[in-house]
Each structure stands twice: as C-alpha cells, then as structure tokens.
Amino acid sequence: MKQLLILFTLLISLSGISQKKDTTKIGPKIQFLNTVIDYDTIERYSNGSRVFTFYNIGDEPLIIGRVKSGCSCTVAKLEKDTILPGERGEITASYNTRKPGNFNRPLTVYSNSSTGSVNIIYLKGFVLDTKRFYGVERKKKK
C-alpha cells in the first residue's frame, strides 16, 4: 500500500511538470523577406518604386519608429508603424531614376525588434539613359 501511495504521488507531480507552459518571451522580432532589392537595369525616368515586405515573428507588437534614407534620391514610406505578432508589414521605397549610372542606396529601419533596433535594407541597380544626344541631355521646351 505504501508503494502505491508513493507511485500515485510521483505520477501527480510528473503530470504537473509536463503541464507547465513555456513562458519565455522573445519580444517583437522583425524578419525581412529580402533585405536587398535589385532593380538590375532600369530606364531613366521610369518608376523606381519597390516594396520591402517584413513580418513580426515575435510574440509582442513590433513598432517601427522610422525609416531613414541616406540621400534625397531615395524616399521610404511605411504602410503602418505597429505590426502585431504574426502580421506582415510593408515599406515602399522609391528611388529617383533621373540620374543615370549605378546606385546602391541604404535605408535604415529603426524598431523595437529584439534582434536589434536598427536594420539596414538596400536598393541597388543601374539606371540606363537611352535619350542622350551627343553626351548632353536636352530638355523639351514647353
């Protein structure tokens, strides 16, 4: 009888251990689908807008403080600044394609992500000028 009581007590204590939930919080966590958008070759004056998609793979709301570009030729627009766990967010980045040549422009994303409050994403490519005459660009008169 004493052995049965010990066995019963052991089973109850083991079932209590297995029912404990993991209460470890990881906080908000940003994960980009891609951190570089490569335009490859794009024509001058064409649409330079592209979209960076990211997810909050954490267990708390992700708050994007701001998105900063390194120059005036790149503008970023945030869809919304608070992304709940499991939700998707988007940053629309626009590169001004008026200047021909290679480009590689960083965008800095500031957030409360547990993986780091600063993430850098990039736009890169080559703007091809197909409308040059004699090495000098000519503008149409109005």
Query: Residue 116: its pLDDT value, please?
Result: 85
Tens place of pLDDT for every residue, the chain, 142 residues?
666 555 556 556 655 555 555 578 899 999 999 999 999 999 999 999 999 999 999 999 999 999 999 889 999 999 899 999 999 999 999 999 999 999 999 999 999 999 888 999 999 999 998 776 345 555 554 5
pTM of the model: 0.74
| pLDDT in the model for residue 134 | 40
The answer to whether residues 38 and 57 touch, using CB atoms and an 8 Å cutoff, is: no
In this prediction, residue 70 carries a pLDDT of: 86
Assign domain 30-125 to a CATH class.
mainly beta
Q: What is the pLDDT of residue 25?
A: 86
Give the pLDDT confidence score for residue 55 in this predicted structure: 97
The SS3 call for residue 5 is helix
CB under 8 A, 24+ apart: contacts of 34-40: 35/119, 35/120, 35/121, 35/122, 36/121, 36/122, 36/123, 36/124, 37/93, 37/121, 37/122, 37/123, 37/124, 38/124, 38/125, 39/95, 39/123, 39/124, 39/125, 39/126, 40/125, 40/126
